Amino acid sequence: MIDEILDDTMLVVWRKAATFNGHSQVSTWIFAIAYRIAMKALKRESRSTQILLDGDEPLYAPSPEASFIDGESRSALRHLVAGLSPEQRAVVELTYYHGCAYREIAEIVGCPVDTVKTRMFHARRKLRSALRGQEEE
């Protein structure tokens, strides 16, 4: 499904390149296209899908124990983020994995900045609650 979304995104970018007006960064424009295509695909599927992102490789060589703990933490966090609603997950991933600002995210997802802030607030609250639940186990 991800490959199909990527292909569809690049096709739209190719066909609509002349309509890019320069009011935003090119990456913001492309993210917005990809976001809309992904949301349509999720609605078509009518089921939640888990989007896993590749983790960044560390620049240092940690001990095997540290590598294991870090990998477990990243895996747990990805699992928790995947459990968020698609709208909340998009805001979290665009913020923390892609470094987008709230205004840029608002352009990408097509909603007001305050809505982005609200989605992030609720996503953080859900993640915090889930993390506390894991700590208790």
Please report, for the chain, the start and end positions of each structural domain, with discontinuous segments joined by +: 2-52+63-136
Q: Which CATH class is domain 2-52+63-136?
A: mainly alpha
Provide the whole-model pTM. 0.56
Tokens of 22: 């320069």
Indicate the burial class of 22 (C-beta count within 10 angstroms; 0-12, 13-18, 19 or more). Answer: exposed
Q: pLDDT (tens digit, 9 = 90+) per residue, 9-24?
A: 888 888 888 888 888 8
Tokens of 135: 């700590």
Q: Encode burial over 27-39: b for 16+ CB neighbours within 10 A, e otherwise.
A: ebbbbbbbbbbbb
* Torsion, CA 97, CA 1, CA 122, CA 28, rounded to 10: 50
Question: Distance (Å, rounded) from C-alpha 21 to C-alpha 71?
Answer: 42
Q: How confident is the model at residue 88 (pLDDT cuts 50, 70, 90)?
A: very high
Question: Distance (Å, rounded) from C-alpha 13 to C-alpha 120?
Answer: 28
Q: Encode burial over 2-13: b for 16+ CB neighbours within 10 A, e otherwise.
A: eeebeebbeeee
Q: pLDDT (tens digit, 9 = 90+) per residue, 33-54?
A: 888 888 888 777 754 434 444 4
In degrees and rounded to multiples of 5, residue 67 shows phi and psi of: -60, -45
